[in-house]
Chain A
Amino acid sequence: MSLKYITPAERFKRYLPKDYVELVDYGPFGKTQDEAGPGNMGQFKELVEEHPMCSGCWMAYYIRLIFASLPCPEETVTLGTAGCGRLAISQAAVPFIYGNYGDQNAMASGLSRAFRIRFPDKTKDVITIAGDGGTMDIGFSMTMHSWIRGEKFTTIMLDNEVYGNTGGQESGMSPKGAILKMAPLGKQGEKMPATALAQAAGCVYTVRMSPTNIKKAAKIIRRAIFVAREVGPTFIHAYTSCNIEYSIPTEDVFADAKEKEKTRFQFEEYMTDAAKEVIERVEAEEKAASKARKAASKAEAV
């Protein structure tokens, strides 16, 4: 996909579905983060459409945030696997590839390599968005090996600490002692140290977080994508609660995310020197561009 591919001819617009035309005209394609980013969600047409996820799902919120903060949505491909997340990710106006039970990182390896050969003049972003089961249990070997090989793409783990889609079995990421519908005695083992595993396997940028601060969460997603373009594998471990399996009243979901930020999901950011260099360079460029735009619009107003 590219911006040219997405944009229809002006005279052909009246024959296209209204939703599609609105997405091109009022969506985030080809726009900057100041015009259509996480800071002004609700003022432009978003990439994710109506999705079948539960009422008050924090994972649905985080997915909405991921799509709003993509640096270049028209040049992005997302991959996912079985789980709740794919219900919303597959509804977005970004090409989505559905992996077969945990092989999303293996497919992403091939895809990102192929993109670099097929489009050497373009930057294509490959992002895998999968749940804790798809990343750390079922797809564990493929996830680890993609990191060990140093494949350049972003892995985002939506950690709801349970197999929410299949009725509440314990996952590797469930905390010790968690009592779930299919683990009535409580989980015996410990929660897997995902970010430590990622660092050991060679990820150049890892973050563990609970998405409560929207600006910070968006910045992390963009950093992970920018670093993956140039340096190596990046990993985000985000807390996206399951309000059904953990019986959290929907109106308290946000409060629960804040509480977890103080305990299991304390903010932790790790980056190598090479990753830090890329982040500093890109963020300085963005700041300068945004300043120039503001100055230009001011001059126009005068």
Chain B
Amino acid sequence: MYYVAKVNSDMCAEYKCNTCTLYCPEANTLMFDKKGNTSWVDEDRCKGCALCVYVCTDMLDRNCITMEMVSGKED
């Protein structure tokens, strides 16, 4: 079991910001949805480094991203 990043899209949509997507070390993982004005995470690719949490929480003080235990797809 491991942690992956999860974006609170309601909170994220309030800001005009895509800073976290610029600082993720993984390509095509932390994506930005232009229509919904929010970031989202491709959980299959996230390695759980929490760099986006540093950007969102420590640098910008917006607290939109949290690390959550990955949920298994099979029941």
Contacts and interface: CB of A to CB of B under 8 A. Distances in A.
B5 to A, nearest CB: 11
Nearest to B21: A42
A211 to B, nearest CB: 10
Contacts of B53: 251
Contact of B54 (A46, A67, A251): A251
Contact of A42 (B18, B48, B58): B18
Interface string B18-30: 1001111111101
B45 interface: yes
B51 interface: yes
Nearest to A68: B27
Contacts of B48: 55, 250
Interface residues of A, number: 30
A43 B27 CA distance: 11
A48 interface: yes
B23 A40 contact: no
B12 interface: no
B47 A49 contact: no
Interface string A28-42: 000000000011111
Contact of B55 (A49, A55, A252, A254): A254
B25 A42 contact: no
B49 interface: yes
A200 interface: no
B31 interface: yes
A42 B22 contact: yes
Given A40-B18, A55-B48, A252 B54 contact: yes
Interface string B37-61: 0010000010111110111001100
Interface in A26-70: 38-43, 45-51, 53-58, 60-61, 64, 67
A214 B25 CA distance: 13
7 contacts: A42-B31, A55-B48, A250-B48, A250-B50, A253-B49, A254-B51, A255-B58
Q: Which 8 A-B pairs have the closest CB atoms?
A: A56-B49, A42-B21, A55-B47, A250-B49, A61-B25, A251-B50, A48-B27, A60-B25
